[in-house]
A and B are shown apart, each in its own frame.
Chain A
């Protein structure tokens, strides 16, 4: 069986800088794929390429064996790939519910169906009580959940989560891990960028490691933890920090 997502030798140049350099990986249906690497490694850039914000300088991305690199983000979303943003982008002057409703229209046949999808999505992430709160006033933890709810409301097959755990307290962290497990249980394939080692190691089926735009390792959490290149990349980061 072909993989759900195939990233084939993509590179992204910004001026002289190769933010992503000849990176390939695949994601199989139903798995949770972790994407890790030090700051500036090119993780968010990979998401921006997959979701259509950037057209890769080289290489291509296939989703369900169809080439999607070069498509606009809204087209990629319609095909079944949703994402969240590392720097959260709530629709500030809209309520939590209206934020999610706006994206629920994508696959709904009418207003009533869209409201149903949105209600489900906020219940799923635990935002039901904040339904009518204007999203500008939400604390960070809830904004991160709002990002996830909005992505889920587009009813994706593939979900890209960019640091949905950063800045959360330990309690929120546990909640979010639970949410991601439930997303997987719904049959949605998930790719997560995460700095929290404990989190990535515990929920990922496989992990891809980037450093300076290049893929330096790929494997199960157990393999990654022992990989000398990975250890060095992270130790190097700590030493320079």
Chain B
């Protein structure tokens, strides 16, 4: 089954999709990566982060700054963002992972905002609010961008699945269910939470670095955005299904298409946040495990409607 899906995805550019359709597909795949990364920390390990923009942004700026300051291809940012974000998430984790529950959530929210303000103010380094612009895009065609992010997504999917089924995955879920129980079962909760955060952060950062290359322009309000990155990431996973393999992918499809559709309605402006809010409330009430997690329930509901 996964191979069939991968084969279909790999053949997608051959079907002559329009450039706009390809753009949406690329966004879906990129958001799947961020969603899967968040899911590892928030879904499996139970550490609900409201600040994943911090990792996305650091990844994006790694690529951007390599280009502006070191004059090398921003594509290097995709692999190089991994050690950079690993170091960054290690330090951030050292601070925020001492906190539990809502305090952790608030600290992550603050960390995303702190990064945004920092990027705005380190003008010499980041270009401040002017952002970073890549003068020549690598390709005009979307195909290669698509294959690159599809590769990142495939690696992420396999990695998350392997981790979830290993000792590490059991430890993450044990920590999610009860930290005190986990500690007294011999699980070094600080270590494993830090690991979950680092892996999650690195994958998110790689997606951010891709974003820099693909969009060709970033600024602090784009890549460190609370609503457009951190909150959307949570929504993708909640809508799709927390702690499921395909949940973030399904969530990414829905959220990208929904955002596109709402944006096309004239005169709505940023009112789409309201729609997302309503959608989230509906999901939490009726499908608390998301579309994938509550799929059997969803099928039952649909059958009931028909009958």
- Which residues of A approach B to under 8 Å, CB–CB? 51-53, 72-74, 77-78, 82-83, 85, 89-94, 98, 101-103, 105-106, 111, 114, 150, 154
Contacts and interface: CB of A to CB of B under 8 A. Distances in A.
A101 B184 CA distance: 14
Chain B interface size range = 10 to 19
Contacts of A89: 178, 180-181
Nearest to A107: B186
Interface-centre pick from B180, B183, B185 (highest chain A CB count, 10 A)? B185
A91 B189 contact: no
Contacts of B170: 98, 101-102, 105
Contacts, number: 74
Interface of B: 166-167, 170-171, 173-174, 177-178, 180-189
Contacts of A53: 180, 183-184
Nearest to B181: A89
Contacts of B185: 74, 77, 82, 102-103, 106, 150, 154
B174 A73 contact: no
A72 B183 contact: yes
8 contacts: A52-B183, A53-B180, A73-B183, A74-B188, A89-B180, A91-B177, A105-B170, A114-B167
A103 B180 contact: no
Contact of A91 (B167, B181, B186, B188): B181
B164 to A, nearest CB: 12
Contacts of A85: 180-181, 184
Contacts of B174: 91, 94, 102-103
Contacts of A93: 173, 177
B188 A72 contact: yes
The 7 closest A-B pairs by CB, nearest first: A91-B177, A77-B186, A103-B185, A89-B181, A73-B183, A106-B186, A102-B170
Nearest to A84: B184
Contacts of A77: 183-186
A74 to B, nearest CB: 5
A74 B187 contact: yes
A139 B188 CA distance: 29
B176 to A, nearest CB: 8
Contacts of B167: 105, 111, 114
B177 A73 contact: no
A236 to B, nearest CB: 32
Given A72-B188, A89-B178, A94-B177, A105 B171 contact: yes
Contacts of A91: 173-174, 177-178, 181-182
B138 to A, nearest CB: 43
A140 to B, nearest CB: 16
Contact of A74 (B177, B178, B186): B186
A19 to B, nearest CB: 18
B294 to A, nearest CB: 14
Contacts of A114: 167
Nearest to A100: B185
Given A85-B180, A111-B166, A150-B185, 10 more contacts: A51-B184, A53-B184, A74-B188, A85-B181, A91-B177, A92-B177, A94-B173, A101-B170, A105-B167, A106-B185
B173 to A, nearest CB: 6
B186 A103 contact: yes
A231 to B, nearest CB: 34
